[in-house]
Amino acid sequence: MLFKEMGLSPEILMGIDALGFKDATPIQEKVIPVLLEKKCDLIGLAQTGTGKTAAFGLPALENIDIEADYPQLLVLSPTRELCMQITRDIESYSKFMKGLKTVAVYGGASMDQQIRALKRGVHVVVATPGRIHDLIRRNRINLSLVSTLVLDEADEMLKMGFRDDLDAILAQTPENKNTLLFSATMATGITAIAKKYMRNPLEITMGRKNAGAENVSHIFHMVPARDRYNALKRIVDYHPDIYGIVFCRTRKETKDVAGWLMRDGYNAEALHGDLTQAQRDYVMQKFRENNLNVLVATDVAARGLDVNDLTHIINYNLPDDNEAYTHRSGRTGRAGKEGIAVSIINMNERGRISQIENMIRKKIDQKPIPAGTDICERQLFNMIERMQNSAVNHNNIDPYMDKVYDMLSDLSKEEIIKGFVSTEFNRFLDYYRNAPDLNVTQRPVRKHEESTSRRKPKNGRSMSRVLFNIGKGKKITKREIIDLLVSTPGAAHSEIGQIDIFKRTTSVEVESKMAGAIIGELNRTVYKGIRIEAEENSEFAGNDFRDRNKGPRGRKKVYQN
């Protein structure tokens, strides 16, 4: 369906046309006519990158009274990146709507500047929940006349702990407003929000609920945990034209992986919550301009990234929440183009793949990690293809050709070609000459084994007990515990013994020689928003356990299960 067939105003059609858009996406085609025709609450379920901003933004702009300079459209988004992207989009759509003013309100920027912008009058406010809640508490913004409220990526806002902020913000808006909720997944919290704040909402779902994007192929490689980084390098090397995002679980892991890639000569950068806004903008500008091949990011930092033509999404680790897999993979395969979602897993994670397959209703194929010879062949032919397609500037190169011909006159055509290939290609040949096979050859863990999977200590090995502050209350499983332990360098093949999960704590037996390293790694890990605190303990006594030793931060701790 064409935008000009929807009944949009000439000013908005001019803005759309300036962006080069003519045909509406499926979600736009379903949502826009409905919201133009009547005022109703609406839930839109569609994958990231399907055009949701225009779906809610265009009809909302149509209903704005330019003469009334108070907030009429409020859009809430989980991250500042997404907040800024939505603001840019709305400003583009309304480019020819004279007098319309839009303000972005988010943390990490000057609140005083945002307050001054609000004082000057504004029609559209795009905000993160935390910052606009601060403004409400300071009586710096009045939302009592908002006519349209949009919750974009609502499921992610709930995961990030914004439920209380949302309650406080929505309480400041009028009851007769138009509430629009957009999400990639229909999480439990979304249903709760709909029941609490929406009136008989119309639900529009593109594809199947929680399903993966249609244009994305899904594969996984199974390797020993210790070889995860080497596997990542092979994936990147096997795809010379890769332009993708590598997702990690934690900020620390993001920093480490990006640092290792840069150290090894890859064109990569990290994006995580410890960067200042200026640093984040600098990294994103490099990535958008294709000056980076690989961006290493956490889930939160990557929300709202507006990057076209991504070829790959790589899960360095599977996300803690299966639904986050949908968000990650939805960053590629946009605008009708093909994309690939790659997951690097170890044996203990095989069951997670089945869970994700059931959720996205698509098969995730197991593929072997490319061998060194395959990578060398791929790189060689890519180099030749780039040479064939290179544009030759004769005016610049011709003055040097006589000298070049003279220098190469003693070489045959075959020798020149071999020399050229060797000059460009030797580092790959040298690196992968004796490259080992990284693929796991053992059978995967079967479904019925996952719930009881544990590695028994071998006779004669000294075992120690490690205690840490995550238990049944965080729904941790034995499989996830094993994943946490074997992620420690050197621990992939160490023995794991008895695992006991209690209400607030977990106790696990590990090889004594690895206990210190495992405890150190656990103490640098955040699991489901909780920073793990682990320590070695020899006084474990069942379900009621008192630790007489000092904790990892120097204080005494009591664990009660």
Strand order across the beta sheet in which 178-183 lies:
102-105, 124-127, 73-76, 148-152, 178-183, 42-45, 202-205
In a domain, 436, yes or no: no
111 with 38, same domain: the answer is yes
258 with 347, same domain: the answer is yes
200 with 345, same domain: the answer is no
In a domain, 35, yes or no: yes
167 with 240, same domain: the answer is no
Task: Using the 3D structure, point to which of 402, 431, 460 is the last residue of a domain.
Answer: 431
157 with 63, same domain: the answer is yes
Cα dist from 445 to 294, 348, 350, 355, 360, whole Å: 32, 7, 6, 13, 21
129 with 177, same domain: the answer is yes
Which residues make beta-bridge pairs with 535? 467
**Mind giving me the DSSP string for 316-377?**
SS--SSHHHHHHHHTTSS-TT--EEEEEEE-GGGHHHHHHHHHHHTS--EE-PPPPHHHHHH
Asked if residue 212 lies in contact with residue 330, where contact means CB atoms within 8 angstroms, the answer is yes
Alpha-carbon torsion 238, 244, 250, 255, what sign? positive
In a domain, 288, yes or no: yes
Asked if residue 248 lies in contact with residue 254, where contact means CB atoms within 8 angstroms, the answer is yes
Residue 322 pLDDT: 75
Range of the domain at 419: 373-431
What single letter denotes the amino acid at residue 43?
A: I
530 with 512, same domain: the answer is yes
Task: Using the 3D structure, point to which of 355, 371, 387 is the last residue of a domain.
Answer: 371
Angle between helices 163-170 and 188-197 (to 10 degrees): 20
Task: Using the 3D structure, point to which of 179, 205, 231 is the last residue of a domain.
Answer: 205
527 with 470, same domain: the answer is yes
Asked if residue 339 lies in contact with residue 332, where contact means CB atoms within 8 angstroms, the answer is yes
Residue 559 pLDDT: 36
Domain count, the chain: 4
In a domain, 441, yes or no: no
In a domain, 445, yes or no: no
Which residues make beta-bridge pairs with 100? none
d(CA 469, CA 503): 10
Which residues make beta-bridge pairs with 252? none
Provide the CATH number for the domain around residue 137. Answer: 3.40.50.300
3-class DSSP state for residue 315? strand
Provide the CATH number for the domain around residue 493. Answer: 3.30.70.330
Residue 67 pLDDT: 92
In a domain, 443, yes or no: no
Residue 418 backbone class (left: φ over 0; alpha: ψ -120 to 50; beta: rest): alpha
Cα dist from 168 to 15, 61, 71, 171, whole Å: 34, 25, 17, 5
Residue 441 pLDDT: 57
d(CA 136, CA 339): 42
d(CA 202, CA 188): 17
Which mean pLDDT values do the consecutive 10-residue runs of the chain (561 residues) have?
Answer: 88 90 86 90 79 90 92 91 88 93 89 92 94 93 94 79 86 91 72 81 72 76 88 92 90 90 91 81 86 88 71 90 79 77 87 85 89 83 77 85 87 82 71 78 42 43 84 83 71 73 87 82 78 71 36 36 36
In a domain, 556, yes or no: yes
161 with 15, same domain: the answer is yes
Asked if residue 504 lies in contact with residue 532, where contact means CB atoms within 8 angstroms, the answer is no
**Mind giving me the DSSP string for 34-52?**
HHHH----EEEE--TTS-H
What does the angle CA 537 – CA 540 – CA 542 come to, to the nearest 5 degrees?
A: 155
52 with 166, same domain: the answer is yes
In a domain, 281, yes or no: yes
12 with 70, same domain: the answer is yes
Residue 547 pLDDT: 37
361 with 238, same domain: the answer is yes
